[in-house]
Amino acid sequence: MSPNITRVEGQTFVGANVQIDGGVGYVKCKFVKCNLVVTGVAPVQVAECAFEECRWSFTGPAANVFSFLKAMHQTEGKEMVEAIIREIRGLPAERQPLNPGLKSGGKIQ
């Protein structure tokens, strides 16, 4: 974890609203029935945590990216979104343009 991150270890949060990317690193924590908020303004630092019946919320820049991906998945950008999901899952990346018709070129770096 980055030295500028406050480390929280071994705590259990129940029914809490937690900004998961707010300059705090969570290690071996348990979140039960929490609302976990991702803003997209700081890196997410989570290691060996458990999540039970939690709700994830996206606000700010994270909400913008989420909306963009959702919109692209419903149009000709579906291949790009699927490639991102493959990368998240650790599956082999395809090194070809994701959609040659898109002006951006559409490759994941």
Q: How far apart are the C-alpha atoms of 60 and 88, rounded to whole Å?
A: 22
- The answer to whether residues 33 and 49 belong to one domain is yes
- What region, left, alpha or beta, does residue 26 occupy, with left being phi > 0 and alpha being psi -120 to 50 degrees? beta
- The answer to whether residues 13 and 43 belong to one domain is yes
Whole domain around residue 14: which residue ranges? 6-58
- The answer to whether residues 13 and 54 belong to one domain is yes
Give 55's strand partners. Answer: 35
* pLDDT tens, residue by residue, 29-61: 999 999 999 999 998 899 999 999 999 999 999
Q: Is the pTM of this model over 0.85?
A: no
Structurally, the chain folds into a number of domains equal to: 2
Strands of the sheet with 24-27, listed across from one edge: 6-9, 24-27, 45-47
Q: How far apart are the C-alpha atoms of 108 and 12, rounded to whole Å?
A: 36
Confidence of residue 100 (pLDDT cuts 50, 70, 90): very low
- The answer to whether residues 37 and 64 belong to one domain is no
